[in-house]
Amino acid sequence: KPDLMDKIVSLCKRRGFVFQSSEIYGGLRSAYDYGPMGAELKRNLMSEWWRFMVHSREDVVGIDASIIMRPEVWQSSGHLANFSDPLVDCKVCGERFRADKAPRKAEGEDAPITLDKSRAKAAQDKLTEAGVKLHREGATLTGAKAGAAGYVCPNCGSPFMSDERRFNLMFRTSLGPVDPIGDVVDIVRKAMAEGADDKALRARVEGALAASSVYLRPETAQAMFVQFMNVQQSLSLKVPFGIAQMGKSFRNEVTAEHFIFRSCEFEQMECEFFVPPGEGPKYLEYWMGERMKWWKSIGIKEDSLRFRKHDDDELAHYSDGCYDVEYKFPWGWDELEGIASRTDFDLKAHSAGSGKKLTYFDPEAVDPATGKPGRHYVPHVVEPAAGATRGVLAALCDAYDEEPADAEGKGARTVLRLHPRLSPIKVGVLPLVKKDGMPEVARKVVDAFFTAGVNAKYDEQHAIGRRYARHDEVGTPYCLTVDTQTLQDDTVTIRYRDDRRQERIKIADAVDTVRKALTE
Ligand code: ATP
């Protein structure tokens, strides 16, 4: 029996929400394409965020920065040095996985290990080759201590691992007409002629690559720090204020998992909110409230949302508090958004890195050092950082519902109970038959919705029941049906997705009826 995630993935493909990237070539791991319905859903979710975070507030402004930034940005932010995952390779099957996410065995355990039968012989051969001595009887291997780190391979179950290595998650590319391979060949040739050892050789190659490298941003946040002065000055903004941005980010994730939950290319919605020193904890609490309000406002069920406080050992060294908003996904509670109090770490780091002052002058505040009015300071930051594509998955999981056939003769169906503001199509306009002037009337109704800025879709394919079913599956909250009576009295049937109720309304009232529901 397929589980809920399988059903959602299958609905996504069947109805044009999400496809595997490059599918006809075998698919690209961890990258996804949003189809006609998914593109609308993602746009709607992101514009709801923008409306709430930027348009509805006087103290937050939005920017749209470039994805490629100078490498110094990532040097100063700490991403070049620290934004990495610890990885180990399984010596038996070659699987590479994240050490911090792997199931562990008890340290030092050397009990017999039973592998998948087909793998045991191969494992013995490989390990013998690698200099590990062990005895095999059938599928059971004995005589070798479990890998020093005590990990168990999530693929084949073997405990024989390489040492841990750290891999940076940023995608590196080069800007300008450089030929990194040609450069590297030259460097290697020269270094070898000079008798450089492996370590020296590595350092030189790394240096040459770094010199021509730029990185795709792994988060949208840094541009808000780097452009802090430009944004603050161009609009004469007064602290507290925030800079918001949404868009693509890239992380070379080793364990892409759970469909679009974790992918290498994804979208984020982040806000850096600048506050006076000492007020981080207060605003952290404030933003927790606001952000939870927003997730509920887009229809996510209250029972499926919660906060998780970060333990002290999880906190970055500069942070004085962090909470995740978690959603109850089909596989368990997992992160949707992080809300962190980041002190003055970011602006100070970029100020040190760039040599430019990133401070704020408040003429009304009292300088604590002199006791006089007028205070220069480095603002502290509270950051609500949400995943947009992860939000799309949460919205899909939350909205997915199956109804069995009932006694009144209503058939079984799958329905996406999306909040109408997220629904890809707000209104399906369906002529009962493709003749007698019904298509013409229906198209006029669609035009009226278009003029009103509401996405309505004309739909005449297949029998009416199948059309309703299709709209239920993509979450269309209303369908309007044009029939014979319409031609006589200018009324249509409105059908409600959630309870399949139908009633007649005047065509003239249709736009207002739907618009009212969308603003509720
Ligand atoms: P995780 O612990 O899941 O890797 P994170 O704590 O590293 O996430 P942040 O750096 O805080 O994530 O990013 C903010 C938000 O961006 C996350 O809450 C998540 O919604 C989203 N996000 C981060 N990485 C990915 C990814 N690889 N795919 C999809 N969304 C992501």
pLDDT tens digits for range 228-270 = 999 999 999 999 999 999 999 999 998 778 999 999 999 999 9
Q: What is the pLDDT of residue 76?
A: 96
CA of 124 to the centre of ligand 1 (A): 39
240: closest CA among 426, 377, 135? 377
Whose alpha carbon is nearest atom 27 of ligand 1?
Answer: 262
Averaged pLDDT of the chain? 91
Residue 359's alpha-carbon distances to 59, 226, 271, 362, in angstroms, are: 18, 12, 18, 10
Residue nearest to atom 23 of ligand 1 (CA): 387
pLDDT tier for residue 182 given thresholds of 50, 70 and 90: confident
Q: What are phi and psi of 134, to 5 degrees?
A: -155, 165
Give the CA dihedral 343, 348, 349, 353, nearest 10 degrees.
170
**How far, CA to CA in Å, does 164 sit from each of 99, 126, 143, 148, 404?**
7, 19, 23, 10, 51
ipTM of the complex: 0.97
Q: 387 in ligand 1 pocket by Cβ < 6 Å?
A: yes
Q: Which atom of ligand 1 is least distant from the CA of 340?
A: 11
CA-based angle 257:260:263, to the nearest 5?
65
Which position has the higher pLDDT, 313 or 77?
A: 77
Q: Which of 43-57, 106-120, 399-413, 469-483 has the lowest mean pLDDT?
A: 106-120
Angle at 75 between CA 71 and CA 80, to 5 degrees: 90
- Is residue 290 scored above 70 in pLDDT? yes
Tell me, what's the pLDDT at 49?
A: 98
pLDDT computed for residue 119 by the predictor = 73
* Ligand 1 centre distance from Cα of residue 387 (Å): 6
The pTM (predicted TM-score) of the whole model is 0.91
Q: Say if CB 455 and CB 515 are below 8 A apart.
A: no
Compute the distance between CA of residue 481 and CA of residue 476 in angstroms, rounded to an integer: 14
Which H/E stretch holds residue 513?
Answer: helix 507-519
- Among 71, 61, 51, 52, smallest CA distance to 272 is for 61
Residue nearest to atom 6 of ligand 1 (CA): 338
Q: Which residues pair with 402 in a beta bridge?
A: 414
| Ligand 1 pocket check for 268: Cβ under 6 Å | yes
Ligand 1 contacts CB of residue 342 (under 6 A)? no
Task: Pick the residue whose CA is nearest to atom 2 on ligand 1.
Answer: 335
324 Cα nearest atom in ligand 1:
18
pLDDT reported for residue 408: 76
* Per-residue pLDDT, 128: 79
Instruction: Supply the residue whose CA is at minimum distance from atom 1 of ligand 1.
Output: 335
Q: How far is the CA of 269 from the centre of ligand 1 (A)?
A: 11
Q: Is 398 in the pocket of ligand 1 (CB under 6 A)?
A: no
pLDDT winner (highest mean) among 132-136, 208-212, 302-306: 302-306
pLDDT band at 86, cuts 50/70/90? Answer: confident
- What mean pLDDT comes out for the span 448-465? 95
Alpha carbon nearest to ligand 1 atom 25, residue: 262
Nearest Cα residue to atom 26 of ligand 1: 262
**Is the minimum distance from the CB of 262 to ligand 1 under 6 angstroms?**
yes
105 pLDDT above the threshold of 70: no
Q: What is the mean pLDDT of residues 11-37?
A: 96
Q: What is the mean pLDDT of residues 124-129?
A: 78
Q: Which of 254, 264, 307, 335 to mutate to test the pocket of ligand 1 (most atoms within 8 A of CB)?
A: 335
pLDDT of 157 over the 80 cut: no
Residue nearest to atom 3 of ligand 1 (CA): 335
Rounded Cα distance, 340 and 382, in Å: 6
Ligand 1 centre and the CA of 322: distance in Å? 14
Kindly report the protein residue whose alpha carbon is nearest to atom 29 of ligand 1.
262
Helix runs in 213-253, H state only: 222-226, 228-234
DSSP SS3 for 464: helix
Residue 29 confidence (pLDDT): 82
Q: For residues 245 and 384, what is the distance between their CA atoms, to the nearest angstrom?
A: 11
β-bridge mates for residue 161, sequence order:
90
Cβ of 340 below 6 Å from ligand 1 = no
User: How large is the average pLDDT for residues 412-422?
Assistant: 96
Q: Between 185 and 356, name the one with better pLDDT.
A: 356
With a 6 Å cutoff on the Cβ, whether 263 touches ligand 1 is yes
Task: Compute the distance from residue 338 Cα to the ligand 1 centre, in Å.
Answer: 8
What integer pLDDT is reported at residue 212 of this predicted model? 81
Q: Does ligand 1 come within 6 angstroms of the Cβ of 335?
A: yes
Pick from 95-99, 233-237, 307-311, 490-494: least confident = 95-99
Residue 99 has pLDDT above 80, yes or no: yes
Residue 141 — very low, low, confident or very high, per pLDDT cuts 50/70/90?
A: confident
Q: Residue 88: pLDDT band by 50, 70, 90 thresholds?
A: confident
The CB of 220 under 6 Å from ligand 1? The reply is: no
| Residue 146 pLDDT > 60 | no
Residue bearing the CA closest to ligand 1, atom 24: 262
Per-residue pLDDT for 338 more than 90? yes
144 pLDDT more than 80: no
Paired sense of beta strands 113-114 and 140-142, if any: antiparallel
| Distance of CA 37 from the midpoint of ligand 1 (Å) | 24
Nearest CA to ligand 1 atom 19: 387
User: pLDDT confidence of 165, banded at 50, 70, 90?
Assistant: confident
Question: Is the confidence at residue 148, as pLDDT, over 60?
Answer: no
Gap between the terminal Cα atoms of the chain: 38
Pocket test for ligand 1, best of 253, 268, 272 (most atoms within 8 A of CB): 268
pLDDT tens-place string over residues 9-23:
999 999 999 999 999
pLDDT (mean) for 209-233: 94
